[in-house]
Amino acid sequence: MHGFLSRDGMPPADLIALGRAEVESYGGIIVCSTVDDLLAADQGFDGGPSIGGFNARLGDGTRVHARRVLVATGMHDELPQVPGLRERWARDVLHCPYCHGYEVRDQRLGVLWNGPGTPDYAQIVRQWSDDVVLFVPRDVLTPSQRTRLVARAIGIVESAVTGLTVVDDTLSSVTLEGGREVHRDALFVPPTFCAHSSLLTQLGAATDDAGWVTTGKSGDTSVSGVWAAGNVTNPRAQVITAAGEGSAAAIAINADLVAEDVRSAIEQVGPRPGPITDHRPGSAGMAASPDTTEGDTMSTSSSPTSRATSPTATPRVGPPSKHALALMIWLCVFPTLTVINLALGDWLKTMSPVLRTFILATVAVPIVIYGLMPQLHRVRSRLVMRTARS
């Protein structure tokens, strides 16, 4: 594995093992299985009940329900049909000059044709060695491509490749039609990338002209509640890129779940006003008027003629409407983020967008939820009460 800061050269399986151990240390559950089917839960399996969210059917027949889904199923490489190519894959037959170029620098390198983009790919490989040969079928190079290759002293061998010669478990040469051999120490092959996106497409996720599932900036697909990260949607993503996409998707999913929880709580409370119950330890479930503040006396009564039924009772304040709640949130979030940006602006500019968003959310959310929103709710309650009394 290459291109992952602090993990260069680590076997991919070791990274997976470390990641799983970290997840489990936080109470996460790792299920080692395959997902054979993924459906919106309102469709159900075998005519099952509609419960919202999504149902996944695993390889052992187990069914798992989830409110949201992040798909990170990756892709696989399809190689040209050359005998011996797959057996040497990721050893001395390589696909990425950015990932593997340093390890074979200054050696005799070859590039195997696999489509019209191969000449530009060969130009990237040329950065690592003065001895680069492009193996290309006859009569496919354009005059412009040939000129560019010759200008950088990239050799051109126009012949069909029939195999590889391996000596002592090391690539020795590339075998051409007619038996000619060209000695090479490593061979670069631009593969055809094939996404494992069937779970997404069966849900109806939109794709681009090349068939890749399209996503928004946080990995959200066109299917509400479904996100994707990594090579399943981005063929150029290295491991560190895929990890960043997964982090961005996770933050977005969490925010979406919180928003749904808020909507659900509002629906359960309903539009009818009711007493606010103090759930603090020792309060014994005392009911207080919504405009009670820290210095007010909280009254309790077990009598049927309590304050709630008294002719002179103060009207109780119900929950805010959706529009009022949105305004309250805006009034809290905007100044909070403004102050944070003014205080930490220079420091935040040095960070990546994903990390900057995470830090802002981590700092701002507790301030808004536990600091500003209760105060703003008290102000709203007093205004409503004054209006009611007048």
Predicted confidence at residue 368, as pLDDT, reads 65
In three-state secondary structure terms, 340 is: helix
Q: CA-to-CA distance for 104 and 96, rounded, in angstroms?
A: 12
pLDDT tens digit sequence for 176-206: 999 999 999 999 999 999 999 999 999 999 9
Is the separation of the CB atoms in 163 and 177 below 8 Å? Answer: no
Segment 97-132, tens digit of pLDDT: 999 999 999 999 999 999 999 999 999 999 999 999
- Give me the percent of the chain exceeding a pLDDT of 90: 62
The SS3 assignment for 63 reads: strand
What's the rounded Cα separation, in Å, for the pair 226 and 240? 22
How many angstroms separate the CA atoms of 288 and 342, rounded? Answer: 39
Task: State pLDDT tens for residues 23-39.
Answer: 999 999 999 999 999 99
The token pair that represents 274 in the structure block: 């009711």
Identify the pLDDT of residue 301. Answer: 39
Confidence class for position 293, pLDDT limits 50, 70, 90: very low
pLDDT (0 to 100) of residue 291: 45
Residue 51 pLDDT greater than 60, yes or no: no
The average pLDDT across 201-228 equals: 96
- Percent of the chain with pLDDT strictly greater than 70: 81
Q: Which tens digit of pLDDT belongs to each residue from 294-320?
A: 444 333 334 444 444 444 444 556 677
Q: Which of 21-35, 48-62, 165-179 has the lowest mean pLDDT?
A: 48-62
pLDDT at 371: 67
Kindly list the domain boundaries of the chain, sorted by start residue. 12-75+194-261, 80-190, 277-314, 320-390
The pLDDT value recorded for residue 298 is 39
- The single residue listed with the structure tokens 């187990």 is 62
Query: Which residues does 165 contact at the CB level (< 8 Å), separation at least 6?
Result: 171, 172, 173, 174, 175, 181
Q: Is the pLDDT of residue 382 over 60?
A: yes
d(CA 387, CA 271): 19
Whether 12-75+194-261 shares its CATH topology with 80-190 is answered yes
In the chain, the N- to C-terminal Cα span, in Å, equals 72
pLDDT higher for 234 or 380?
A: 234
Residue 285, both tokens: 């479930």
> What pLDDT is recorded for position 321?
73
Mean pLDDT of the chain: 84
CATH topology of domain 80-190: FAD/NAD(P)-binding domain (3.50.50)
pLDDT of residue 390: 62
Per-residue pLDDT tens for 315-340?
556 677 767 777 777 677 777 777 77
pLDDT at 43: 64
CATH architecture under which domain 12-75+194-261 falls: 3-Layer(bba) Sandwich (3.50)
